[in-house]
Amino acid sequence: MPFITKTFYSIEDLIGHIQGHKPSFYFSSKTSTVIPYDKIEALLPWKEGEYFLCDLSKLPSSMELKENGNLVLRGAVSWEDAKKFLRSNGRNLKTSPTEQLALITAGIATSCTGERCFGFGNMRSQVVSLKYLNYEGKEKTLHRDSNFNTASSHLKTYQQEFNAYQNFKNAPYPRFEKETDLMIGTEGQLGIVTEVEIETTENFDLTYVFMLLPRWETDYTPHLEIFKAVQDKRDAILSCELLDSNCMNYLKADEKLGTNQDVIFLEVRTDRFEEIYSEVLCGLNLTSAENVFEIAENKFHHVRAGVPRAIFEENSKMGVVKVGTDCQVSGEKFKDLLNFYREAAQIGVRYCLFGHFGDAHLHYNYMPTKEQTPQCLDKFQALYNKVHEWHGSPFAEHGIGLIKQKYIKKFHGPHQAGLFMDLKKEHDPHGQFFPQGFMNPEL
């Protein structure tokens, strides 16, 4: 039976659907990198009656700025919508995903991070409270200042095992420490987020600079010098991003920076720029001042967002599912990760490297033909084995979705699987919320 696509224009319609307990996959802007929407029916096998693809992008939206500076948003609010609203009120977001058209409620579900995680921490830390619809269609409220609660016998050990990932953006499994964690990173498998209260920040004047570096495949020592130099300046540097020389091939001629060179960007508070200039930029021995330039904010965002969008379009044109990584490792293992990517670059397939350099969190993307794809997937399996060995996080930003599930199982032991099973029984007894998600013990 073909899937049924249903678009919701009101919360009441959504509640009515949930109360029918039909197995459903919920989506909004279709910007997820772990859900290949053009092939979704093949990856969501279902043979037991109706299955719904539920579009939440048309739900009514609203925003309110509280006196304490927190933003309360409801419904289909995108990051771009929220940023414009906040800037008109002298505030700004602490999270800045590359895809600004994605909905914030979806970002909560996947625990997205983005560039500004370097300066402000992960999305989870910014959520003050949220509301969600449970399996009965009832709207429930969760608070950050309340501890996570469940009768599962696996919770204590689960939380202890999570401690190894304290310093990562996102671990291989959700945190489940605070009450709000029920919805953060669980990818809509336990309910549907309808409203969020998040922290915001003062809308600082910002200065954007970029540094031209040699290609990382040849010499990454200047890159690592910058990595070390910025670590204790997170209160002044909001983001530290990399686009390698290969990324420039996906930009227009007037957008390209450097000539066969890598680029590292810094987003710096203007009132702290002199400090960063003297203590960080002038202290670099391997990058000369002649290779440091200022860049306009709109060009930075345009260039930074242009690469992943171009990769998505290229993959679609080639007829392949994205073959890219989302790994984060500790600073001590960052050199090992770069060495692995150097080796991965030798198999004769086009590639590029970009992402959140200051967090040791990079996206390595192959650009294969259909015939080359199996070889690339084999290489990534070897990478995830190494990330497990390094006690890193294989998917620190974009979630697991559908195309990453075969890799995540290695990171889930009996207490993770046991807690997932108990939470699904408690919060999704009919198996209606994204039955193919990573929390399903049968997958």
Residue 358: helix, strand or coil by DSSP? helix
Q: How far is CA 67 from CA 64, 218, 441, in A?
A: 10, 52, 44
Position 140 scores a pLDDT of 98
3-state secondary structure of 403: coil
Half-sphere exposure for 29 (CA within 13 Å, toward CB) = 18
Residue reference for tokens 């696509």:
5
Q: 3 phi and psi, to 5 degrees? A: -70, 155
Distance CA 38, CA 353 (A): 25
Q: 241, 360 in Cβ contact below 8 A?
A: no
Whole-angstrom Cα distance, residue 4 to residue 20? 14
Buried b (16+ CB within 10 A) or exposed e, 69-106: ebbbbbbbbbbebbbebbeeeebbbbbbbbbbebbbbb
The closest alpha carbon to 111, from 158, 162, 175, 56, belongs to 175
Which residues 6+ apart lie within 8 Å of 330 measured at CB? 167, 360, 390, 391, 392
- pLDDT computed for residue 443 by the predictor: 66
In Å, what is the CA distance from 238 to each residue of 109, 359, 418, 422, 423? 23, 11, 38, 39, 36
Q: What is the mean pLDDT of each run of 10 residues along the chain (443 residues)?
A: 89 98 94 83 79 96 98 97 97 91 94 92 96 98 97 97 94 96 97 98 96 98 98 97 94 90 98 97 96 95 85 75 89 98 96 96 93 94 96 92 90 96 97 94 71
Sorted by sequence, the CB contacts under 8 Å of residue 148 that are 6+ apart come out as 155, 176, 177, 178, 179, 181, 182
Structural tokens at position 150: 């469940």
Q: Which tokens in the block code for residue 201?
A: 């920040």
| pLDDT score, position 1 | 53
Q: Which phi and psi angles does 441 have, rounded to 5°?
A: -65, -15
Instruction: Tell me how far apart the alpha carbons of residues 207 and 268 are, in angstroms, rounded to a whole number.
Output: 5
Is the CB of residue 83 less than 8 Å from the CB of residue 201? Answer: no
* Helices 373-389 + 334-344 axis angle, to 10: 160
- The Cα–Cα gap between 364 and 344 comes to 9
pLDDT of amino acid 86 = 98
The DSSP string of 273-302 is: HHHHIIIIITT-SSS-GGGEEEE-HHHHHH
Query: Can you tell me the distance from the alpha carbon of 157 to that of 414, in angstroms, rounded to the nearest whole number?
Result: 10
344-349 CB contacts, 8 Å cutoff, 24+ apart: 344/379, 344/383, 345/217, 347/375, 347/376, 347/379, 349/375, 349/376
Sheet holding 4-7, edge to edge: 4-7, 52-55, 24-27
- Distance from chain centroid for Cα 146: 25
Name, in order, each residue with C-beta under 8 angstroms of 215's C-beta and a sequence gap of 6 or more.
244, 245, 260, 261, 262
